[in-house]
Amino acid sequence: KAGVTQTPRYLIKTRGQQVTLSCSPISGHRSVSWYQQTPGQGLQFLFEYFSETQRNKGNFPGRFSGRQFSNSRSEMNVSTLELGDSALYLCASSLGGGMGEQFFGPGTRLTVL
Amino acid sequence: AQSVTQLGSHVSVSEGALVLLRCNYSSSVPPYLFWYVQYPNQGLQLLLKYTTGATLVKGINGFEAEFKKSETSFHLTKPSAHMSDAAEYFCAVSEGAGANNLFFGTGTRLTVIP
């Protein structure tokens, strides 16, 4: 069974631009969560989508948004990029039953110049 | 609210020695607890988890952890370190059944000295 895939793996943007990251979950998984990992703040939860609906949201500004499609694939978007948005963005999928066992993708490394 | 404290951002052990990585949590509800490992330029891999039941849980690669409610701890151990164990380890807590948002500790980088 294929694991969680994220595209692109690396991305370079400039301040003020917007970016869209993509995540394909493990087949059969209906929940997709997104996390931001930075050296200063560590791993922080962004949001979770389940059956195309946002089920949980972390403490991030509205510039960070996401969506989930009927095939469970998910995208997250960051608008008006700031230097502090440079991070590794990790996507995790799970069956959605809330047992917390999430399977992580390799991440997208975003650099904002 | 949930939070996790990992004591020691860096831990060094000799190959063959005991590995002990400390994790203390705070949770307003019975927690689900996890240990993940991250190798360079990779995502996180689940080592083990505690949800309910037996408080000593065994995971992959010879790791185990014990849930101690009275001490609000979930320390990770391995009897004998191997060079391949060198990585960053994260302890995480969730709000229990129905919650898929994990709260992570700041991580502990494990170095194994040959």
CA A33 – CA A94 distance, rounded (Å): 8
CB contact under 8 A, B32 and A94: no
B14-67: pLDDT as tens digits: 999 999 999 999 987 778 899 999 998 888 999 999 988 888 999 999 999 999
Contact residues, chain A, for B92 at CB < 8 Å? 43
Pull the structure tokens for residue A16: 């003020």
> Lowest-confidence range among A5-19, A21-35, A98-112?
A98-112
Contact residues, chain B, for A101 at CB < 8 Å? 34, 46, 49
- Which of B94, B88, B105, B111 lies closest to B7 in space, CA to CA? B105
> Lowest-confidence range among A3-7, B38-42, B69-73?
B38-42
Pull the structure tokens for residue A103: 């399977």
Residue B1's pLDDT is 73
Q: Which 8-state DSSP code applies to residue B28?
A: S
CA B49 – CA B73 distance, rounded (Å): 13
The better pLDDT of the pair B102, A109 is held by A109
Indicate whether B75 pLDDT > 70: yes
A61-112: pLDDT as tens digits: 999 999 999 999 999 999 999 999 999 999 999 987 666 578 999 999 999 9
Residue of A43, A94, A104 lying closest to B100 (CB–CB) = A94
> Quick one: what percent of chain A has pLDDT higher than 90?
86
Count A/B contacts: CB-CB distance under 8 Å: 67
Contact residues, chain A, for B59 at CB < 8 Å? none
CA distances from A56 to A10, A49, A69, B99 (A): 26, 7, 16, 8
Residue A70's pLDDT is 95
CB contact under 8 A, B94 and A100: yes
- Which of B14, B12, B11 lies closest to B82 in space, CA to CA? B14
